[in-house]
Amino acid sequence: MKAPEKDGTFEKQLIPEGLVDAKCYAVIDLGSEEFEYMGEKKITRKIQISFETQIMGKFGDKWELPLTAHITKTFTLYEKGKLYPLIKDWVDVNEIKNNIFDLVGKTAKLMISHSTSKKGAIYAEVLKIKPGEKDWNLINPEIYLSLDKDSYSVEEFNKLPTFLQDKIKLTPEYKEIIPF
């Protein structure tokens, strides 16, 4: 038997730099994360907002799917936070304060730049979001995941890729909902 030439992983395709039409398909509560800032331990709640583009990418020889962009920020709509300035030109922040999930289904124009992570990986970074002009039917499933005890949904959790599920399972919010 001949060994496969590839190990089953796919080359990561990047969204091209510049303005890209996109549509929000997921808002995911990632739970709380501990980090160190100026020698002090802090805990913040994180959120991921995911966008589908109309730019198709090949994933091996089998699939052609839309390329996606993701924003992960501290979950606060405080004006000096990092999420607020990113979305304020896209949506009326006062309208989504009571339900962040209202972002799902909204079209956008993303300003994309390529950046390099601390580990040396190149990724597509969303620098700015403006209202979209173009609408289409999503290919990716819409995801509305909350880790609040009264609104958590196993069905929404199961839509997530395994690596995100594993990350969320480590959070105090998840452990409160699903005690081990």
Task: Give the pTM.
Answer: 0.88
In a domain? residue 13: no
pLDDT at 179: 72
In a domain? residue 67: yes
**Model pLDDT for residues 110-153, shown as the tens digit of each residue:** 999 999 988 999 999 999 999 999 999 999 999 999 999 999 99
For the chain, where are the E strands, in sequence order? 18-37, 40-59, 63-74, 107-116, 122-131, 143-145
Give residue 2's pLDDT band: very low, low, confident or very high (50, 70, 90).
very low
CB 113 within 8 A of CB 128: no
In a domain? residue 6: no
- Does residue 125 come out as left (phi exceeding 0), alpha (psi in the -120 to 50 range) or beta? beta
- Helix H, strand E, coil C: the string for 78-117 is CCCCCHHHHHCCCCCHHHHCCCHHHHCCCEEEEEEEEEEC
CB 122 within 8 A of CB 17: no
Give the C-alpha separation, 18 to 109, whole Å.
10
Boundaries of domain holding 53: 18-174
Q: Which DSSP letter does residue 162 get? A: H
Burial of 45: CB neighbours in 10 Å, binned 0-12, 13-18, 19+: middle
In a domain? residue 180: no
In a domain? residue 90: yes
**Model pLDDT for residues 54-87, shown as the tens digit of each residue:** 999 887 777 788 999 999 999 999 899 999 999 9
Give residue 25's pLDDT band: very low, low, confident or very high (50, 70, 90).
very high
> How many domains, in total, are found in the chain?
1
Percent of the chain with pLDDT over 70: 93
**Model pLDDT for residues 32-60, shown as the tens digit of each residue:** 988 888 888 889 999 999 999 999 988 77
In a domain? residue 25: yes
